């Protein structure tokens, strides 16, 4: 299983990019008021039909041909539900998929959020053809990273995975995260 919530996000969002999504919206919302850590992943990829959606939380279902198990979504679901939280996945063929996992923030069974900045940077630099809209909210504060804004500034000739830009993206994520959560251990 995964050791961090952020690794679950990385894994599930990888599926969004494989589904051909041009835009993946990821939200991480920490609320002490409702004692929740909510993760949302929404994509405009190829989506799934009703039967696939029903089966996707079954660890013995996968569309891959390289192995017979599909643990990504079941891991994520189990991690959220183990805290007393909830998990939902909805999808429509040709429209996209939406995943929402709610973790009880104070639960002793909640795994740490982990290195969410690294997760986001990984997704962005290794999927240059996909746009990401990332929102991080910590109680009343929040920030947004939109790769479409980056793309507009950089144009076509400077790739996200060039060392300077990759470093900028990491700094952008880290500095804004720190500003929003004050370096809280989540």
Partner 1 sequence: MKSLEELKALREKMRAQVNMRENVGGEHTRVVVGMATCGIASGARPVLNRLSELVQEKDLTDKISVTQTGCIGLCQYEPIVEVLEPGKEKVTYIKMNPEKAEEVVEQHLIRGNVLGKYTLASAGI
19 binds partner 1 (CB under 8 A): no
Of 2-10, 20-28, 29-37, 99-107, which segment contacts partner 1 by CB under 8 A? 2-10
Between 95 and 159, name the residue whose CB sits nearer to partner 1. Answer: 159
DSSP code string of the chain? --SSHHHHHHHHHHHHHHTT-SEEEEEEEEETTTTEEEEEEEE-SS---HHHHHHTT-TT--S-SS-S---HHHHHHHHHHTTT-EEEEEEETTTEEEEEEEEETT-TTPPP---HHHHHHHHHHH-TTSEEEEEEEETTEEEEEEHHHHHHHH-SSS-TTSHHHHHHHHHHHHHHHHHHHTT---
Between 36 and 147, name the residue whose CB sits nearer to partner 1. Answer: 147
- The interface with partner 1 within residues 75-104 (CB under 8 A) comprises 75
Binding mask 157-176 for partner 1 (x = CB under 8 A): xx---xxxxx-x--xx--xx
1 binds partner 1 (CB under 8 A): yes
Residues of this chain that interact with partner 1 (CB under 8 A) are 1-2, 7, 10-11, 14, 18, 64, 66-67, 70-72, 75, 118, 122, 126, 143, 149-150, 153-155, 157-158, 162-166, 168, 171-172, 175-176, 179
């Amino acid at each position: 299983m995964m050791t961090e919530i952020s690794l679950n996000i990385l894994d599930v969002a990888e599926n969004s990019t494989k589904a051909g999504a041009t835009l993946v919206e990821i939200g991480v919302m920490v609320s002490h008021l409702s004692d929740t850590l909510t993760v949302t992943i929404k994509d405009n990829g190829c989506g799934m039909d009703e039967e696939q959606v029903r089966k996707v939380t079954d660890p013995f279902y996968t569309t891959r041909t390289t192995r017979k198990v599909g643990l990504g979504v079941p891991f994520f679901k189990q991690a959220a539900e183990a805290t007393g939280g909830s998990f939902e996945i909805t999808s429509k063929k040709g429209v996209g998929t939406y995943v929402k996992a709610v973790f009880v923030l104070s639960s002793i069974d909640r795994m740490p959020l982990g290195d969410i900045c690294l997760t986001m940077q990984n997704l962005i630099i290794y999927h240059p053809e996909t746009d990401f809209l990332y929102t991080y909210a910590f109680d009343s504060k929040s920030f947004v990273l939109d790769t479409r804004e980056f793309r507009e500034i950089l144009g076509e000739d400077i790739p996200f995975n060039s060392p300077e830009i990759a470093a900028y993206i990491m700094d952008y994520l880290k500095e804004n995260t720190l500003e929003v959560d004050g370096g809280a251990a989540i």
